[in-house]
Chain A
């Protein structure tokens, strides 16, 4: 694997050959038509709706979208960590040439720790509350066949320093750490080894900007050295802008826009993505009233007729209230909006 700058996004048109062994140029991960529903009183809530996503080795893909739109569910389904009432209702997740959806628990354990690390949104839930940081690191390393005490200790201290935590905290328990320290311990754990893919769900939301920046720069450096791919869920658009190669914008369980990072910031295409990029407040500009995107997030169990975004969309027309847009491919970007489909929305221009 060459320690290269991120590869260009894989061509979206052709479906990857599932049976073929992974080659250096093939995708690390290929998510195909994946759908996940939660079964509840109000009927199924489709939190992931026919999502397609491919990651090349060394790629950094950011996933953004409203609170509750299905980002964590997507990551959980990729890592096969979903529990009932969640159910994969369709599609597959191909990782290292194997379909994760069909894997047994035993096959899965090997893959999960060797090939894939996960940094969950809730560091408190993911860490063992009754084990010290030292013990949790040692366990993880034991699972990888490393038992030599001095090696384990040295590596543990090294990764803690890397994330800016005083190694005295090796003997601390999770509740003795601050919110941001717990997140950094989780990241340090994911970096103990060199997986092929790291899934990170808002891993730095409790960190100050100084720590966050230097941590991200380090992650990028490691990524360049080791070549792992990253899926990074965040609400922080500047992290997306500065560190990702590609962005996936989700709305109500669907991918509504997918684009290389720069072009998205230069010109978001989907009306939701446009609203999202306009909304954030500035530290130095004039202090203007902030409006955000009007309206409420949709109820996933009761989606509107037509385009999911139509009740809140400033561009919506009658066609949007009747017809569900497809994910349209435009060069290296994809967008799910009738404005970009033949016929548009009654001739309105994007």
Chain B
């Protein structure tokens, strides 16, 4: 194999791409239903790129990360890493190589560390597996280096602790530090800063940008903190109910959101200095991902919904180069009689 080996130069394509990535779950026992956690997802992550993945709670973000980390198998679709389909990684060595290069930071730091072992044990074990070139001494200093980077100080004291001796935010940073110790190419970071105060959060965000800038590491940064996504990411992906509904350069998505869900999301971003804007407690219908059928999954909550939205699932259409959304109304496709996508469709309501 060639792709999953750090020594081989990258191909010109994206670092990672998915085609039609889909994952369904059976829930509710025998008489159960099919839950569409992720449906037909096409995404790309370039070398040296931070891609933020945002979206509604339960929309499938963690499932995407777990699919990319090969924790879950896709129901269908493909993941291509440096030009190679990850489903071709069968031998232990190839899988290990992939996992070293594409580590995942799990969302729940309380269940991802074994309570029976110290942080030192966890770090040591990971390093033994993923950095065989390091000797005992080297592993120790690498462990201390990454803990320090994550603001866990003094690192020597942290190494001696058991997971239950750490606070929520401290555990969260252990997971992040561990991923860094593997010398990754792409870190799948699932809400890595959700339990951190602003100051430590900023420290970690700065670690992320310098990883990208200095070591050419890419990140998939899953977050609910839109301000931090804006601060670190090059591109933003927005998910709703298992679908990718919008993606594009960060500033474009945040300043000219195309999809009605993205607009709703951004309109709810709070400003602590200003008065509370949202005063409605109406959550709307929970998104239907159990046996969803055809049509746009946002239509029950969408202020712009039309007949077609209930019949045809909208596909991603580019409005401007690199900025696409899946909405019949704001980005009408060629089928709906609009101008070809690449020419930049005008939005209704845009002055």
Contacts and interface: CB of A to CB of B under 8 A. Distances in A.
Interface of A: 38, 40-42, 64-68, 71-72, 121-125, 161, 163-166, 168-169, 171-172, 176-181, 184, 201-202, 205-215, 217-218, 221, 235, 237-243, 265, 275-277, 279-283, 287, 290-293, 296-297, 299
A72 B228 CA distance: 24
B220 interface: no
B312 interface: no
A292 B202 contact: yes
A253 to B, nearest CB: 12
Interface residues of B, number: 71
A241 B153 contact: no
Contacts of B194: 205-206
A205 B195 contact: yes
A63 B196 CA distance: 14
Interface string B131-165: 00000000000000000000101100100100001
A293 B199 contact: yes
A213 B278 contact: yes
Given A121-B195, A181-B57, A280-B198, A290 B283 contact: no
B272 A238 contact: yes
B268 A209 contact: yes
Contacts of B111: 122, 124-125
A70 B288 CA distance: 40
A277 B265 CA distance: 24
B191 interface: yes
B350 interface: no
Contacts of B153: 296-297, 299
Nearest to A68: B167
Contact of B286 (A64, A166, A177, A210): A166
Contacts of B268: 209-210, 212-213
Contacts of A221: 281
Contact of B276 (A38, A178, A242): A242
B42 interface: no
B196 to A, nearest CB: 5
5 contacts: A68-B170, A123-B108, A165-B58, A181-B58, A235-B169
B227 interface: yes
Contacts of B160: 41
A281 B169 contact: no
B108 A281 contact: no
B57 A67 contact: no
Contacts of A181: 57-58
Q: Which of B108, B206, B226 has the most CB of A within 10 A?
A: B108
